[in-house]
Amino acid sequence: MQIISVDEERCALCGACIAVCPSRLLKEADGSIKIIDPAQCILCGHCKAVCPEDAFQFPGLEDAEFAPVPKKATLPSPEGLMALFRSRRSTRIFQKQPVEREKIERIMEAGRFAPTGGNRQPLRYTVITTPSAIEIVRGMTVDTLVGQADRIKKAVEKKRESGEALTVGYKLQEIYAGIWREMAKLNSKGVDVLFFHAPALIVCHGNPARTGPLDVDSGLSGMQMALMAEVLGLGTCFCGFLVMAAEANPELKKTMQIPKDHKVILSFMLGYPDVTYLRLVSRKPARVQWL
């Protein structure tokens, strides 16, 4: 199937598409726009987005998604956008109310439209909303982390016996080990300090062998999803411990139906907050080097 074409009857030969093509696949020749190597097109759509005549066609993409760009006046103001950024806080107190499928789908759409290097779109997502499935994942995660804690304890004791100074990394792991043991104790009593009884989990993963580093794509996608959740009246909290456990325990990945050759990059809880924050986020000053 042809992945890109130019409608020559529409094309006005303005040349705007040539300038914006990141793959440098377009040139003007013989009175028309030529696609040098269509197979190398990354389907970014820049050419179609800049074309005043809408002359470019992408059979593999949904044409309706190339809707006109909204007028600047309809977009959030700088102050409004900053207020949104600073309004979001991590939620660790959730209502028991489940999250509607429609809202989760809108959140996933926000992640789908995040920037992605080379338009590779390498990310895949697992959404867990069934209470029994969340309970199983929580139990496996806690057990895996406790196992990690035991290994950390032995490694730290060995270094101390040898008189070797602990690095910052080991000291941090020792702190984590204590947190994980306490987490396991509370979990056995029905107190969830891992997912905080959230009604939904979203896990982001991908195959690193088929693309470049996944971390940036995942971070961009995750934050867009979190901000969409915010405007939908939902709360989120990113969970690095689930990521650590999934990478240490293949069975946990299998339980979440994540392919074994995929790497889990990011996860977050999702639900209706049972807490109301009255103040915006404060942060330390940005450390910026101006050149």
Res 144 pLDDT > 80? yes
Summarised one tens digit per residue, pLDDT across range 99-113 is 999 999 999 999 999
pLDDT of 237 strictly over 90: yes
Say what the pLDDT of residue 254 is: 97
Q: Is the overall model pTM greater than 0.85, yes or no?
A: yes
| pLDDT per position as a tens digit, 50-71 | 999 999 999 999 999 999 999 9
Fold of 90-130+194-271: NADH Oxidase (3.40.109)
Mean pLDDT (the chain) is 95
pLDDT average, residue stretch 232-259: 97
pLDDT at 263 over 90: yes
> Does the structure show a pLDDT above 90 at 171?
no
Instruction: Tell me the sheet residues that pair with 269.
Output: 201, 237
What average pLDDT score do residues 114-119 get? 92
Determine the average pLDDT of the residues in 148-176.
86
Tokens of 232: 């939908």
What is residue 199's predicted lDDT score, i.e. its pLDDT? 98
φ, ψ for residue 108 (rounded to 5)? -65, -35
205 contacts 221 by C-beta, under 8 angstroms: no
Confidence of residue 227 (pLDDT cuts 50, 70, 90): very high
- At which residue do the structure tokens 């290097």 appear? 117
Is the pLDDT higher at 213 or at 114? 114
pLDDT higher than 80, residue 14: yes
pLDDT > 90 fraction of the chain, expressed in percent and rounded? 87
Residue 1: the pLDDT is 63
The CA distance from 198 to 91, in Å, is: 9
* Percentage, residues of the chain above pLDDT 70: 100
CATH match for 5-65 among 1.10.10.10, 3.40.50.11540, 3.40.190.10, 3.30.70.20: 3.30.70.20
CA distance 47 to 18: 8
Backbone angles phi, psi at 195, to 5 degrees: -105, -5
More confident residue, 2 or 138: 138
Angle 14-49-207 from CA coordinates, rounded to 5°: 130
Reported as type and span, the H/E element at residue 101 is helix 101-112
148 contacts 184 by C-beta, under 8 angstroms: no
Question: What pLDDT was estimated at residue 159?
Answer: 81
* Cβ-contact 125, 108 below 8 angstroms: yes
Q: Categorize the per-residue pLDDT at 127 as very low, low, confident or very high, splitting at 50, 70 and 90.
A: very high
Q: What is the pLDDT of residue 160?
A: 83
Q: Given this model, what pLDDT does residue 92 score?
A: 98
The residues spanned by each domain of the chain are 5-65, 90-130+194-271, 135-184
Find, among 139, 146, 147, the residue nearest to 255 by Cα: 139
What is the average pLDDT across 251-276? 97
- Measure the CA–CA gap between 7 and 9, rounded to whole angstroms: 6
